[in-house]
Chains A and B, each alone.
Chain A
């Protein structure tokens, strides 16, 4: 190894422990001096370059990363939430649309309705006269010649999605509820139903369905006849 090559290699990397290089240095004191001089230079270079790192830099690096991660995850959950919300919304909308035409379970609806408005059955001194009842019935195209018995409650009600007349009659056997639902051919046959408290019946007629509910044991049939006798439909 010639002198120049030795110098080149030593300057390029004083820490080089190549045997050739070491041998070369061992043979010549001048070269050995140069080698240690350069090693010394490297040492001070190392020290000079070894500046302090800002305090808490590693914590900062980890924190910044977790913040980014958190933001990403938040964005992700937000899309999940949006997805869930739109699915729930779609469900809600289709459910309501599905509910609209409802010839299902008239009996249950009638019972639910009456329990919901139990107050309507309470004995009241209110006496609704024939004119008032007929005014309300007029929109369905019907009218009473005379009231079948005292009427204490007369209101338009939503009967399973259909506008209907909700009457409460005071009879000998207690209050009876009558729903007059304009017929849309949704009931095929007369039917009877009951629960622990009420008996009920659905009667089919040409113009309307009559749904009559009374306390257990009351004579629904008789009441139905009274209503049918007095109720007339415009043709």
Chain B
């Protein structure tokens, strides 16, 4: 109790370090994490909540994160657990594709944005088991091995799912292209 002054400053130093680590973590990963969450649950509000909850939990157990290379999959694991918890809490009325919420306000040519929204629609139409590895690969930039360990699957399964995801997307796109051509 009496040596407190010293330990206090030590604690303060630790806290500043922790704060810095946390802020760095937010700066590096919050965008990708938000995008991942968004495409996982297809709702900007829920995505934001998920990201907030994820970072809050990350802060609480930040001391457990020793290896900075593991940060990404660590955060993903927390976020996925939070997302799963959301389903435990209440059964979500899950409409397949809610395109009204997807507003692309990037300044792009009409063609490009139609193609984007078409693609977005198709991505959301994918089963979660195909969508999730694809998101991890493209949004989070993870390798096959990383995805496998994050999703607790073996690598071959992950590769197969990625294959099927792209295959489905490609087919769907060429179908819709044909339809468009047919309409013309």
A→B interface (CB under 8 Å):
7-9, 11-14, 38, 41-42, 44-54, 57-58, 60-62, 64-65, 68-69
Distance between Cα atoms of A65 and B15 in the complex (Å) = 12
Interface residue from B30, B115, B144 paired with A58 (Cβ < 8 Å): B30
Using a CB–CB cutoff of 8 Å, the interface residues on chain B facing chain A are 22-23, 26-27, 30-31, 34-35, 38-39, 44, 48, 51-52, 55-56, 59, 102, 104-106, 112, 115-117, 119-120, 123, 134-135, 137-139, 144, 158-160, 162-163, 166-167, 169-170, 173
Given A64-B56, A68-B59: A48 and B163 interface contact (C-beta under 8 Å): no
Specify which of B22, B112, B139, B160 is in contact with A65 (CB 8 Å cutoff). Answer: B22
Q: Which residues of B contact A62 (CB under 8 A)?
A: 22-23, 26
Contact B159 A8 (CB under 8 A): yes
> Is there an interface contact between A45 and B123, defined as CB atoms closer than 8 Å?
yes
Using CB atoms, name the residue of chain A closest to B118. Answer: A48
Among B44, B104, B115, B166, contact of A11 (Cβ-Cβ < 8 Å): B166
Given contacts A8-B159, A44-B116, contact A57 B169 (CB under 8 A): no
In the bound complex, CA of A9 to CA of B22 (Å): 37
In the assembled complex, the Cα of A47 lies from the Cα of B102 at a distance in Å of: 14
Chain B residues with Cβ below 8 Å from A64 are: 52, 55-56
A57 and B48 in contact, given A11-B163, A65-B56 (Cβ under 8 angstroms): yes
B34 in contact with A44 (CB, 8 Å): no
**Closest partner residue, chain B, to A68 (CB atom):** B56
Consensus secondary structure, chain B interface: helix
Minimum Cβ distance to chain B for residue A91 (Å): 16
A13:B56 contact, CB within 8 angstroms: no
Q: Is there contact, CB below 8 Å, between B119 and A61?
A: no
Interface contacts (Cβ under 8 Å), in number, total: 93
Closest to A38 in B: B166
A57 to B51, CA, bound (A): 9
Write the nearest CB–CB distance from A229 to chain B, whole angstroms: 62
What is the distance, in angstroms, from A74's C-beta to the closest C-beta of chain B?
15
Complex alpha-carbon distance, A13 and B106, angstroms: 27
CB < 8 Å neighbour of A48 from B22, B44, B123, B137: B123
- Please state if A49 and B160 are interface contacts (CB–CB under 8 Å): no
Most buried by B among A11, A12, A49, A58: A12
Least distance between B78 CB and chain A CB atoms (Å): 13
User: Which residues of B lie under 8 Å from residue A52 when comparing CB positions?
Assistant: 105-106
Task: Tell me, in angstroms, the Cα distance from A44 to B123 when the chains sit together.
Answer: 12
Q: Is the CB of A12 within 8 A of B160?
A: yes
Can you give 25 contacting A-B residue pairs, CB < 8 Å?
A9-B159, A11-B167, A12-B159, A13-B137, A13-B144, A44-B115, A45-B134, A47-B112, A48-B115, A48-B116, A49-B120, A50-B35, A51-B35, A51-B104, A52-B105, A57-B34, A57-B48, A61-B51, A61-B55, A64-B52, A65-B22, A65-B55, A65-B56, A65-B59, A68-B56
What separation, in Å, do the CA atoms of A128 and B178 have in the docked complex?
124
Nearest B residue (CB) for A37: B170
- The CA-CA distance from A84 to B51 in the complex, in Å, is 40
Other than A9-B159, A11-B167, give 18 A-B pairs with Cβ distance below 8 A. A11-B162, A11-B166, A12-B144, A12-B159, A13-B137, A38-B166, A41-B166, A45-B138, A45-B169, A50-B35, A51-B38, A51-B104, A53-B30, A58-B27, A58-B30, A64-B56, A65-B59, A68-B59
